[in-house]
Structure 1
Amino acid sequence: MKGFLTVLSAAALLSVSCSKQKADLILYNGQVYTVNGAFDTVQAFAVKDGKILATGNTEEIRKSYTAPEEIDALGKPVYPGFIDAHAHFFGYGQSLQDADLREAKSWEEVCGRLTEFAKTHPDGWLTGNGWDQNDWPGKQFPDKTKLDQLFPERPVFLTRIDGHAAIANQKALDAAGLTKSYVLTGGEIVSKNGKLTGLLIDNATSLVENKIQAPSPQQMEKILMDAQQNCFAAGLTTIDDCGSNYELVNLIEKMQAGHKLKMRMYVMLSDHQPNYDYLFKRGAIKTERLNVRAFKVMGDGALGSRGACLLHPYHDMPDKSGFLLSNPEHFEAIAKKLAEKNFQMCTHAIGDSANRTILKIYNKVLGGKNDKRWRIEHAQVIAPEDFDLFGKANIIPSVQPTHATSDMYWAADRLGPERIKGAYAFKQLLKQNGWIPLGTDFPVEQINPMLTFYAATIRKDASNYPEGGFQKENGLSKEETLRGMTIWAAKANFEEQEKGSIETGKFADFVILDQDLLKASPAQILNTQVLKTYINGEKVYEKK
């Protein structure tokens, strides 16, 4: 009789098992923020073939599905994989190979770091990035004198944190054949008393940078893999790579096909004729991990180096107003060409004059309401009367919250007390279309999405400055910020039907954190850690 009951029990279990639908992965016992339209939370979901099969409570998911792999989330918060809507993926990986000059508190500290770096990197050009004169006593740009003394026989090229200025020593200037200053569109070769200082602004930087030997294919692969590793550790599952060339796209495509590069990439090609020729001939590229349908155009420079194009002179330097990096006719010609070919136009615009110029061109070419999702990258300083130009033609402001908390120490000096009110105005920009994508602009800023969340909601930097927050009226809510880092970032890429939320049929891209950003205190947000990152239901990172 006992044997008969055992057989019956086994048969019953088999029947229950057979009645369950097969999945590849089940996550249960979580606080899952789906970031769907209703901003629902659930406890569990099932994954099959890299996509979300179903969501619900733990009991119903485990009752309805069986899977060889299960994740007990232990009550931890689970979010859609974070999407950085504006970054420089290859540039970040490349910066990891250079001297790190970020947060140096003086030019002397920069030179000291560079000297130490040179000891372990003795050959070829000496390159570094991340210096910011706004962090130094006096806030003055450096010149090449000290570099010439330290490295008289080795070319040195050091990029400012925003990528819009650089300092080169004499050896580097010689390599570029630069002997005197001259007028060029959208840039400045700085001289003093008739002699070059080594400082190069915006378009002038390429005159020297182009002389640096390009990395080999093997080095390029390492650069991409290093960037991927750090991004996965930060919970990032899609990166908008802003301003790459078609050769890099070919390498990314090859590495993804070989399952080596797993990061999802939304690549904007830079504003160069070979890139237009390539994509116009080939057509938009769309795979599960690669999307190439956009072009990144540079409108003006940066506020920190006074290259941002302003309607009125800089408050702290009345003889400068910045400059456009190309003439308006160029921007309009590109806009008409991209509209005709049905590609997305994404234009860097920092200053209020640059934003007005690009917004008016967009409005003219787009002709009112549309779904082309053309973007203004940064949208940093907007004149009060120009905000509605975003909504009139459904233009997307793609912003980076940590720029506000990095720049706030000196932005008012640049802009003055009135103009600063229209800067980093994320809430005003959100109202234009009802949604806004968020990014970091790394490596200009750190890649950590928690800093994005903190800056957007608390409007302070990591040192808890300023008390009360910077222009707090333009902060975003926690829900708005999470949407900006997920579903709205996906929407900016025409990808909201496949990612950006944990919903049936979408890619199983998700992260598990140790603290709930929606409930955490400000201090807890800053200390939040990524425990695991998944792409397509595959674990690509786990905190040790």
Structure 2
Amino acid sequence: MKQWIALAALALAQASSAATLVHNVHGYTMDGETVREFVAMEFDDGKVTALYESEEASEASTAETSIDGEGATLLPGLIDAHGHVSSLGRALASVNLVGATSEAEAVERVVAFAKANPDAPWIVGRGWNQVLWEGKQFPDRQSLDAVGDRPVALQRIDGHSMWVNSMALEMAGIDRETVDPEGGQIVRDVAGRATGVLVDNAMSPVFAAIPTDTDELIAQFQLTALNNLAANGITSVHDAGITAQELRGFDSLLAAGNMPVRVYAMLDVLDPENDKNLATGPREDEASLLSVRSVKISADGALGSRGAALFEDYSDDPGNKGLLLLTPEQLTHHMNRAAAAGFQVNTHAIGDLANDRVLSEYERLNKEAETRALRHRVEHAQILRPADIDRFEAAGIVASIQPVHATSDKNMAGDRLGDVRLKGAYAWHALLASGAQLAGGSDFPVEEVNPFLGLHAAVTRQSRDNHPEGGWLPGEKLDRAETLHLFTQGSAYSAHQEELIGTLLPGFSADFILLRDNYFTVDEQDIWKNKVLSTYVAGRRVYQAP
């Protein structure tokens, strides 16, 4: 992908007089493995009609409207292949614990939010990460009891564990006698009392106790989130695991003409209400703003909470191999019924054991050409045995990865896995070199929405403060073209949309962004600092910077 070829003017036979010309830009788009450059782009009726390699060539355009890019960089709209839209909207309206450096600081934020929202029946939030705290120990319910007489439920940054106060435990019916559910853990002290930390399926009783959101509130959360995505240069998002209620929210936004960003929805296969959506079959609106043709299944938990399923014990927790969230029979059943209904199957797998099981299921399914054509995906594919890397390309399986997870996890992954297992961990370059199809995302709100954090992480393998020197596991770095492909054509392919979006060649949708900094020439340490000036979806501006 390091080959750079200047693009001669590409135009349709006749451009409409209603066309728009964006000029005075540093334009780049992926064309397969080639980066193509241009200085002006014309679009009409929501589609790209011409690209020009010089301002002189662009004078041939008959566009009626022009936009002066004032030297900005123009890229295809970025596609986040793994996020959680409703959760982002909810997070924007709840306690934000991301970056809290101690349990005490997290509690201070909760107390401040509770004071500012006296009518909220529950105090909910997300984003705590004990790995950033001194001692790296899980928090305790007692510190949250100081918040007052309301239940508190705070999800960890990865969404696979929850920290609650005593009142929330009581309302959820969890006490000393409660047995750990299958695929979950109630963390206990030496006396057997629940500490207030619940892992994976053990969170379910708390979710059941929290008042249900109305359809209208869900749609509000979604619209807030989609506008936030547009402001970050994301023109399409793959929503990983939506309920039937969340699908109703998207349908209402679509009907009202309120979809600023494209949504590729993965149905939560465990939501019983989604059975009717599976029975209906895949669907997509005429403008491809809402596509429903995939499902989400979770095979295991997350590494940070030691819920990722491993073949061998955690290096820092002997006797613990993590959690498989479904039995082998359940995993097979849900994959079979989704594929039989014509849906792509996208399965969360982080640990090496979970990845092996999911890959084996896909290999079984993909023996049939019709099923292989569905492009089943492994979501995360974080910890692989080196021998399993080649299985993706061989069986036609997409690896949907989140580059920023590598730089977020680098401070604890070695502790959890040890040096030997790191050889197949966060192995983005090895997967790409094997010939596998890759898609790029962020996993927001587990991570921040800003896609340039992911671009920076893939290129440098460093955190924003440039650590470690040379990058963490630097052999897994991607170059800038490979990384842009990951968040454009790679993600488009993983959604069966490679003939619609992901590139700015003539005939493709005019989904593009204007940026302050040149992604291809700015110092790699500064890639994450880029600012979005404006965002367009099908030629319609959906965001303009103040």
- TM-score (normalised: structure 1): 0.93
Alignment correspondent of 1:293: 293
Supply the AA of the counterpart residue of 1:249: L
- State the 1:294 CA deviation: 0.5
Alignment correspondent of 1:511: 513
1:237-262, CA deviations, whole angstroms, 9 ceiling, x for partnerless residues?
A: 00110000122212212212211222
Structure 1: distance between partners of 2:368 and 2:312 = 28
Structure 2: distance between partners of 1:334 and 1:277 = 11
Alignment correspondent of 1:11: none
Alignment correspondent of 2:170: 174
Alignment correspondent of 1:142: 139
Question: Given that residues 439 and 491 in structure 2 are in contact (C-alpha distance below 8 angstroms), is that contact kept between their aligned partners in structure 1?
Answer: yes
Give matches, 1:113-262, under 5 Å: 113-123=109-119, 124-151=121-148, 153-180=149-176, 181-192=178-189, 193-262=191-260
Q: 1:494 to 1:313 in 2, by over 3 A?
A: same
Supply the AA of the counterpart residue of 1:172: A
Supply the AA of the counterpart residue of 1:162: D
Structure 2: distance between partners of 1:280 and 1:118 = 40
1:28 equivalent in alignment to 2:23: yes
Q: 1:20 to 1:95 in 2, by over 3 A?
A: closer
- State the 1:275 CA deviation: 4.6
Alignment correspondent of 1:304: 304
CA RMSD of aligned residues (A): 1.6
Alignment correspondent of 2:35: 39
Query: In the alignment, which of 466, 473, 476 is matched to residue 474 of structure 1?
Result: 476
Question: Given that residues 23 and 46 in structure 1 are in contact (C-alpha distance below 8 angstroms), is that contact kept between their aligned partners in structure 2?
Answer: no
Alignment correspondent of 2:277: 279
Question: Given that residues 442 and 449 in structure 2 are in contact (C-alpha distance below 8 angstroms), is that contact kept between their aligned partners in structure 1?
Answer: yes
Give the unaligned 5+ runs of structure 2.
Answer: 1-13
Alignment correspondent of 1:491: 493
- State the 1:215 CA deviation: 2.2
- State the 1:341 CA deviation: 2.1
1:494-515, CA deviations, whole angstroms, 9 ceiling, x for partnerless residues?
A: 0010001101121111001111
1:110-134, CA deviations, whole angstroms, 9 ceiling, x for partnerless residues?
A: 1111111111111210111100010
Structure 1: distance between partners of 2:255 and 2:499 = 23
Supply the AA of the counterpart residue of 2:224: D
Give matches, 1:393-542, under 5 Å: 393-542=395-544
Question: Given that residues 456 and 525 in structure 2 are in contact (C-alpha distance below 8 angstroms), is that contact kept between their aligned partners in structure 1?
Answer: no
Helix, strand or coil for the counterpart of 1:267? strand
Supply the AA of the counterpart residue of 1:205: M
Helix, strand or coil for the counterpart of 1:317? coil
1:82 equivalent in alignment to 2:86: no
Alignment correspondent of 2:47: 51
Helix, strand or coil for the counterpart of 1:410? helix
Which range moved further: 376-385 or 221-230? 221-230
Supply the AA of the counterpart residue of 1:342: G
Supply the AA of the counterpart residue of 2:123: L
Helix, strand or coil for the counterpart of 1:485? helix
1:323-343, CA deviations, whole angstroms, 9 ceiling, x for partnerless residues?
A: 100111111122222232221
Q: 1:239 to 1:20 in 2, by over 3 A?
A: closer
Matched residue pairs, number? 524
1:96 equivalent in alignment to 2:92: yes
Moved over 3 A (4+): 57-62, 432-435
Helix, strand or coil for the counterpart of 2:219? helix
Give the unaligned 5+ runs of structure 1.
Answer: 1-18
Structure 1: distance between partners of 2:437 and 2:56 = 35
Question: Given that residues 176 and 208 in structure 1 are in contact (C-alpha distance below 8 angstroms), is that contact kept between their aligned partners in structure 2?
Answer: yes
Question: Given that residues 110 and 147 in structure 2 are in contact (C-alpha distance below 8 angstroms), is that contact kept between their aligned partners in structure 1?
Answer: no
Structure 1: distance between partners of 2:279 and 2:337 = 14
Alignment correspondent of 2:3: none
Give matches, 1:309-324, under 5 Å: 309-324=309-324
1:189-225, CA deviations, whole angstroms, 9 ceiling, x for partnerless residues?
A: 1222121111100011121122111223332232122
Which range moved further: 495-504 or 388-397? 388-397
Query: In the alignment, which of 62, 65, 68 is matched to residue 62 of structure 2?
Result: 65
Helix, strand or coil for the counterpart of 1:39? strand
Structure 1: distance between partners of 2:279 and 2:365 = 23
Give matches, 1:380-395, under 5 Å: 380-395=382-397
Alignment correspondent of 2:4: none
Helix, strand or coil for the counterpart of 1:539? strand
Supply the AA of the counterpart residue of 2:473: Q
1:153-191, CA deviations, whole angstroms, 9 ceiling, x for partnerless residues?
A: 211111100000001111111111222331311101122
- State the 1:458 CA deviation: 0.6
Give matches, 1:318-397, under 5 Å: 318-367=318-367, 370-397=372-399
- State the 1:76 CA deviation: 2.2
Structure 1: distance between partners of 2:15 and 2:118 = 62
Helix, strand or coil for the counterpart of 1:390? helix
- TM-score (normalised: structure 2): 0.93
Helix, strand or coil for the counterpart of 1:265? strand
Structure 1: distance between partners of 2:15 and 2:405 = 50
Helix, strand or coil for the counterpart of 1:197? strand
1:269 equivalent in alignment to 2:284: no
Helix, strand or coil for the counterpart of 2:411? coil
Question: Given that residues 94 and 124 in structure 2 are in contact (C-alpha distance below 8 angstroms), is that contact kept between their aligned partners in structure 1?
Answer: yes
Alignment correspondent of 1:10: none
Which range moved further: 280-289 or 365-374? 365-374
- State the 1:379 CA deviation: 0.2
- State the 1:440 CA deviation: 0.3
Question: Given that residues 46 and 65 in structure 1 are in contact (C-alpha distance below 8 angstroms), is that contact kept between their aligned partners in structure 2?
Answer: no
Helix, strand or coil for the counterpart of 1:243? strand
Structure 1: distance between partners of 2:134 and 2:221 = 34
Helix, strand or coil for the counterpart of 2:384? coil
- State the 1:20 CA deviation: 6.8
Question: Given that residues 296 and 345 in structure 1 are in contact (C-alpha distance below 8 angstroms), is that contact kept between their aligned partners in structure 2?
Answer: yes
1:423-448, CA deviations, whole angstroms, 9 ceiling, x for partnerless residues?
A: 10001111233431110000011111
1:375-400, CA deviations, whole angstroms, 9 ceiling, x for partnerless residues?
A: 00000000122112212211111000
